Structure 1
Amino acid sequence: MTGSDAKVVVVTGASRGIGRGIARGFGAAGYRVVLAARDAAALEEAAAEARAAGAPDTLCLPGDLREADRPAAVVEAAVARFGRLDAIISNAGATKRGDFLTLTDDDMLDGFALKYHAAVRLCRAAWPHLRASGGSIVGISGIGAHTPTAEFTIGAPVNAAVIAFMKALADRGRAEGVRVNTICPGAIATERLHRRIATLAARDGLSLEAAEEAMRRDMGVSRFGSPDDIAAMAVFLCSDQGAYVHGATIDVDGGIRPGV
């Protein structure tokens, strides 16, 4: 389908990093792309990239998805503009790292507010439209859900909750024709990863290049991933080629996570 008949995807957290890459990837796949995040200027830049990649049309919806009514407003605006909804990519939300004993209740609550509760509200609002279109939901979690570490006492529980929620929603989706899956990215070369590299460089007195190499070597991967790697999986999961993948949790991490 092209132009006014093209499928419609909502991507949250679309202004930068993984979300921006996903918006670009769906644009290249011919979707009309609805982009949601807080930074209006960055959203417009991301939308321009999606159109340059091939999106017939885009819609930017700046706002804070932590607000209880905002996820439903995003869905309503998307359907009002394009008349349909075929996919939801719930990507918004970054959690604070740090010493557990210094992280506050507010830090914990904020981590869940954006990445978990916003995803729940978004999926609830989108469900009737996705049921009508035979659409898909992809939740973006993270490998930290499987391998919690001491500095990730917020991110690991939040990501694990996203996986559990998507699994439960997939059980409903089997009967109602909505596919639901989860992607767990590994170390992806985004601003967030670059900040971690800069922190390591400052702590150990290394150049940025040496710190990046030390982190990559410690993780045991040949390279860091790119947002395009995550986008490719998200597009596949929403495509006809991914039609029999349902209720799956898929690591896209270059082999970082050990175990089975």
Structure 2
Amino acid sequence: MELHLVKKNALILASSQGLGKAMAAELVKEGANVMLASRDGEKLAAAQRELSQLGTGKVSYMVTDITKAEDIKSLVAQTAEEFGGIDILINNAGGPPGGSFSDFNDEEWQQSFELNLLSFIRTIRESLPHLKKQGGKIVNIASSSIKEPIPGLILSNTFRTAIVGLSKTLASELAPDRILINTVGPGRIATDRVQHLDKMNAEKQGVTPEEMTEQSINKIPLGRYGEPEEFAKFVTFLVSGANTYITGQSYLVDGGMIKSI
């Protein structure tokens, strides 16, 4: 299958490590130019060096706090200027703190809103003038909670599902401009974030992190955590030229863990 990604220009948020970096790696392998963004300059520089060896595409980075509107404006402008345009936008953000409803005050709700929803809205808004020029692809990274709320993650459950509503609405609004937009939720993918959640849940239940991980794996029909590369390959298809008719949809990459239809 030809993905038609050579010389396409992609902007990926939260891409110095984890799923963001894995998605960047797959795009670089396919010949795309990729702009990395996160708050950690050292990790970004290391990721750029590593990913630049994987393909013919150019890899750049910009230190960005995606909770700040001016940072997002600068990031989008720099990406368009350096690459000559933007064809692909992948919105991604680290997960908010775990806890129940009574654990969080207004400030913490506001912080999660700005990180996990408003950042996506702002980046889409800034990128649209570039995406509209030749059509483009947007993928919003959410969570398996878009299909089934995760106990102890009320902030994530709230704002990840809001992303689905945003994407579904924009699918209709952006279709005349030949922009396809979809949402993808990872299940238990082997990242630092999942390791942190396993440790947090282990402490709550009075078990070891290893026992917690085993409990989680037992709920996955495929019997293991997914690898970041497996998740990234699916997203790569959605933002590629091979996807010409899929928009407004929500997908899980979870090894069959979520049982909802």
**TM-score normalized with structure 1 length:** 0.92
Aligned-partner residue type, residue 229 of structure 2: D
Q: CA separation of 1:242/1:125 partners in 2, compared to 1, >3 Å: closer, same or farther?
A: same
> Are 2:18 and 2:192, in contact at CA under 8 Å, matched by a contact in 1?
yes
Q: Which residue of 2 aligns with 1:226?
A: 227
Q: Which residue of 1 aligns with 2:38?
A: 37
- Deviation at 1:215? 2.1
Aligned length: 257
Deviations 1:66-105 (A, max 9, x none): 0122212111000111111110000123111112212222
Deviations 1:145-166 (A, max 9, x none): 2211441211011001111111
Q: Which residue of 1 aligns with 2:96?
A: 95
Does 2:213 match 1:212? yes
Alignment of 1:142-153 (within 5 A): 142-153=143-154
Structure 2, unmatched stretches of 5+, are 1-5
Aligned-partner residue type, residue 26 of structure 1: L
SS at match of 1:245: coil
Q: Which residue of 1 aligns with 2:78?
A: 77
> Are 1:23 and 1:46, in contact at CA under 8 Å, matched by a contact in 2?
no
- Overall identity of the aligned pairs, in %: 27
Deviations 1:192-223 (A, max 9, x none): 11112233444555554333212211455411
Alignment of 1:115-130 (within 5 A): 115-130=116-131
Alignment partners' CA distance in 2, 1:199 and 1:156: 17
Alignment partners' CA distance in 2, 1:109 and 1:242: 35
Alignment partners' CA distance in 1, 2:100 and 2:205: 18
Aligned-partner residue type, residue 12 of structure 1: L
Q: Which moved more, 1:50-59 or 1:139-148?
A: 50-59
Structure 1, unmatched stretches of 5+, are none
Alignment of 1:43-62 (within 5 A): 43-62=44-63
SS at match of 1:250: strand
Q: Which residue of 2 aligns with 1:252?
A: 253
Alignment of 1:145-184 (within 5 A): 145-184=146-185
Alignment partners' CA distance in 1, 2:153 and 2:208: 25
> Are 2:219 and 2:257, in contact at CA under 8 Å, matched by a contact in 1?
no
Alignment partners' CA distance in 2, 1:55 and 1:98: 43
Q: CA separation of 1:132/1:229 partners in 2, compared to 1, >3 Å: closer, same or farther?
A: same
Aligned-partner residue type, residue 134 of structure 2: S
Alignment partners' CA distance in 1, 2:219 and 2:238: 31
> Are 1:15 and 1:37, in contact at CA under 8 Å, matched by a contact in 2?
yes
SS at match of 1:159: helix
Q: CA separation of 1:75/1:55 partners in 2, compared to 1, >3 Å: closer, same or farther?
A: farther
SS at match of 2:34: strand
Report the aligned-residue RMSD.
Answer: 1.8
> Are 2:93 and 2:116, in contact at CA under 8 Å, matched by a contact in 1?
yes
Q: Which moved more, 1:249-258 or 1:204-213?
A: 204-213
